[in-house]
Structure 1
């Protein structure tokens, strides 16, 4: 696979409930408008890229999502693409539908998908979620979408292992056997900081880029300097409240602090 640009600072757009999900009003308009507006905001604030996800659709499907979710995510990802003016774009379809995310990425010219459980199996609030790296990689090849990078969580948040393993072993398998293009280290839940020891162990274990993907704030940026980059969501919202709209001033201050921490 040819080398491509990988961003160091990614902001997350948390979409409100989409049509078909329990809390939806049935109107896709507000979600598409948020995707466009927040993509513009993140561009203006100096982010390298964006990840869009169906955060408001809880409770999530453990596996394949219905066609309405794929259709809505495609519309919202296209809006984010337009608002971002070509910025690096990632798609995450919760909880773990990698095939749907790939389809949306191909349809919207996105650059990356996030997969919560790519290899192995995890006990989650959705039940047992199993990785399907064998299927995801073959789907990407069948869609002639090798340019779409696959970012995979290690010891993903809101889950527990069936059989505990050292995190460096899980990371090695993800990169070497699951062929992940980048790995993501998280805390135990949304907005919770990742362990600095876990980050260092994963960085040492693999040769692919490693990101910290939860719990990063302006105050703990120094602790994640060993990561290739970060994916930030909660810290861009008033009160750190996941799912709320992005606050422009918070997003701009975070980007400025991140750049300063990397100098």
Structure 2
């Protein structure tokens, strides 16, 4: 089986918000501009020294559940392959909304390393409606593709969703079920993009599983030092952009300020734990 690229302890995965893809309402028809923008962000992240990048079709508003537009999938696959040529570290992908099999198939074709998954276990209500648990389908497809090196990181009690269907389940219950269903790691978020997660959720997560626990929202220069000891990985996107807004342009100064603090704090934490 193919070996996976290694994500370091307390890794930083920087989000690349790909411009609107074919079929989405905001798509402008300029595929070259979409590719160039994604690769430009990648180059900036690479220069800043991030551990990993995560490709997402964040501009495809409003999101729809699969099947996604075939031309959109083809263009995202092309972007992923170009990113792979330029970046030696681990690369992940998420295709919204809950297009988890599509993410996996792109990752397998483009030699990526992990996918971010919505509704791995149980169901919740997203912006486009009810999203059902997908663990069985994802892992069966992963085996069919001979891509078991591709890690599956699953959101639990995911942001931008209603969890009234599972109101009787605590986040630790969902993590236990995800682990039982063979997930590779879990992602803890707040209710919305840009807001930091509840520290109690992270403590519960670390107490209930030995799997990697990632933070998927809300990290910035004002809180990263206090959250670094609480998780094994950090997916960051909004803070690196103009005014810290999710879909604005990347601002290298904000990125570099964050990275300086992140690298120093991580080094101190890892050194003190030796």
**Counterpart of 1:68?**
71
- Are 1:183 and 2:186 an aligned pair? yes
* Counterpart contact for 1:36–1:82, Cα < 8 Å: no
- Are 1:160 and 2:175 an aligned pair? no
* CA deviation after TM superposition for structure 1 residue 232, in Å: 0.2
Q: Tell me how far apart the structure 2 counterparts of residues 10 and 49 of structure 1 sit (CA, whole Å).
A: 4
**DSSP 3-state at the match of 1:231:** strand
* Counterpart contact for 2:13–2:51, Cα < 8 Å: yes
Q: Tell me how far apart the structure 1 counterparts of residues 67 and 157 of structure 2 sit (CA, whole Å).
A: 21
TM-score w.r.t. length of structure 1: 0.95
Counterpart selection for 1:14 from 17, 41, 50? 17
* Counterpart contact for 2:35–2:79, Cα < 8 Å: yes
* Residue-by-residue CA offset, 1:88-132 (whole Å, 9 max, x unaligned): 100100011111111111111100111021111001211101121
* CA deviation after TM superposition for structure 1 residue 4, in Å: 5.6
List 4+ stretches of structure 1 deviating above 6 A. none
**Counterpart of 2:234?**
230
**Counterpart of 1:94?**
96
Q: Tell me how far apart the structure 1 counterparts of residues 133 and 72 of structure 2 sit (CA, whole Å).
A: 20
Mean Cα displacement is larger for which, 46-55 or 159-168?
A: 159-168
- Are 1:241 and 2:245 an aligned pair? yes
* Residue-by-residue CA offset, 1:181-220 (whole Å, 9 max, x unaligned): 1111111111111111111111111111011010011111
* Counterpart contact for 1:196–1:223, Cα < 8 Å: no
Alignment of structure 1 residues 46-125 onto 2, 5 Å: 46-84=49-87, 86-125=88-127
Q: Tell me how far apart the structure 2 counterparts of residues 200 and 74 of structure 1 sit (CA, whole Å).
A: 37
Q: Tell me how far apart the structure 2 counterparts of residues 234 and 196 of structure 1 sit (CA, whole Å).
A: 20
Unmatched tracts of structure 2, length 5 or more? 269-274
Counterpart selection for 2:200 from 197, 201, 208? 197
TM-score w.r.t. length of structure 2: 0.91
Question: Are residues 107 and 194 of structure 1, via their aligned partners in 2, closer, same or farther at CA, if it must alter by over 3 Å?
Answer: same
Unmatched tracts of structure 1, length 5 or more? none
* Counterpart contact for 1:39–1:81, Cα < 8 Å: no
How many aligned residue pairs are there? 261
**Counterpart of 1:126?**
128
Q: Tell me how far apart the structure 2 counterparts of residues 259 and 4 of structure 1 sit (CA, whole Å).
A: 20
* Counterpart contact for 2:5–2:90, Cα < 8 Å: no
**DSSP 3-state at the match of 1:90:** strand
* CA deviation after TM superposition for structure 1 residue 3, in Å: 7.5
Q: Tell me how far apart the structure 2 counterparts of residues 45 and 82 of structure 1 sit (CA, whole Å).
A: 18
* Residue-by-residue CA offset, 1:206-244 (whole Å, 9 max, x unaligned): 111011010011111133222002000001011011112
**Counterpart of 2:212?**
209
Q: CA RMSD in A?
A: 1.4
Counterpart selection for 1:139 from 97, 118, 141? 141
Q: Tell me how far apart the structure 1 counterparts of residues 206 and 34 of structure 2 sit (CA, whole Å).
A: 36
